[in-house]
Structure 1
Amino acid sequence: MIKKLPILLFFLGSFFMQSQTLAWRTSMTDAIAISNEEKKPMLILFTASGVPDNLQNEVFKTPDFAVWSRDNVILVKLDLSDASASDGDKEQNLRLKSAFGVEDLPEVCYALASTKKNKTTFSSLGKLAYKPGGAKAWIAEANAILHPVETE
């Protein structure tokens, strides 16, 4: 019986980790609507095939990030190399990359957006690229962008 407990815990832990899959949006229209509905900023990941996956492996695939992102942001992934994206989406994603000043991939931008009379206006909160140090350090920097301390 005692030997079965660690095995059971291992399987339950594995199940729990699998259930923490992140809900990345790929449609800006959907992401903006959810962001405004939930009153959370968007975390927009600009990426493409062949870019280093340090950010994915060391930050986005961790339980710490899964919990933090669920409580703080709406996840949006804009893959600039996605061949299945429509020409309109490709053009929109490139315009957003330029508007946010993204130069190196992958890079994350935090933003709010509002739509009035079919015109979308973005408010950039800041950018964050990969930095060594793991999920906790990355989350601390993200929190500094999302919740800046007011100075007197």
Structure 2
Amino acid sequence: MMKKLLVSLFFLGFISTQAQNLIWKTNINDAIEISNQSKKPMLIMFTANNLADNLQNEIMKTLDFALWSRDNVILVKLDLSDSQASDSDKEQNLKLKNAFGVQDLPEICFANAVIRKNKTTFQALGKMAYKSGGVKAWITESNAILHPSDF
């Protein structure tokens, strides 16, 4: 019995750690390639420094989000205040923010994209800003955007 409890605690601790170590792509072209290979849409989070951490703490740092995102989306984080980003990446991220109509940060956009003849075409699926209500409500809203025929 004690052995099962220890194994369970170890497993839960491992998954909890994984929830905090999600793999976010920061280059949109890499994300598009992975998205197309895996046939999963991208979850693009437009963010910047010194923003409220509600979205991160209540949604993205949870086990539920980690499990959901692993199965449903390719995670992309575009930090509009990243001083380490090249000028071309900063310009590209700002153009994407404007193209998706992002007003407030942080904001999430769901999209598919293809690159043909060095031209990228995005298909916006929907977007959402942070709303209180917890991760389960957030996932339900995200699923409604990604799979509208199911709702």
The ranges of structure 1 where at least 4 consecutive aligned residues each deviate by more than 6 angstroms after the TM superposition are none
The residue identity in structure 2 corresponding to 1:144 is: A
- In the alignment, does 2:50 pair up with 1:18? no
Secondary structure of 1:22 counterpart: coil
Percent same amino acid among aligned pairs?
A: 63
Q: Does 1:146 align with 2:123?
A: no
- 1:140 & 1:5 partners in 2: Cα distance? 33
The structure number with the bigger radius of gyration is: 1
**Which residue does 1:112 correspond to in 2?**
112
Distance in 2 between residues matched to 1:149 and 1:32, nearest whole Å: 24
Aligned residue type for 2:17: Q
- Cα deviation code 1:98-122 (max 9, x no counterpart): 0000000000000000000000010
The structure that is helix-richer by fraction is 2
User: Amino acid of the residue matched to residue 60 of structure 2?
Assistant: F
| 1:55 partner SS | helix
CA distance, structure 2, for counterparts of residue 8 and residue 60 of structure 1: 26
Structure 1 distance, partners of 2:98, 2:18, is: 35
Q: Which runs of 5+ in 1 are unaligned?
A: none
Aligned-partner Cα distance in 1 for 2:111–2:89: 18
TM-score (norm 2): 0.92
Give the equivalent residue in structure 2 for 1:53: 53
Q: Which amino acid aligns with 1:58?
A: E
Q: TM-score normalised to the size of structure 1?
A: 0.91
Letter in 1 for 2:14: F
Within 2, Cα distance between the matches of 1:15 and 1:80?
31
Letter in 2 for 1:16: I
Aligned letter for 1:60? M
Tell me the amino acid that sits aligned with residue 19 of structure 1.
Q
| Number of aligned positions between the proteins | 150
CA root-mean-square deviation:
1.9
Q: How does 1:7-86 map to 2 (within 5 A)?
A: 9-20=8-19, 21-86=21-86
Contact 2:35–2:41 (Cα < 8 Å) also in 1: yes
Tell me, what secondary structure is at the counterpart of 1:37? helix
Separation in 2, partners of 1:150, 1:133? 21
* Higher alpha-carbon deviation: 119-128 or 9-18: 9-18
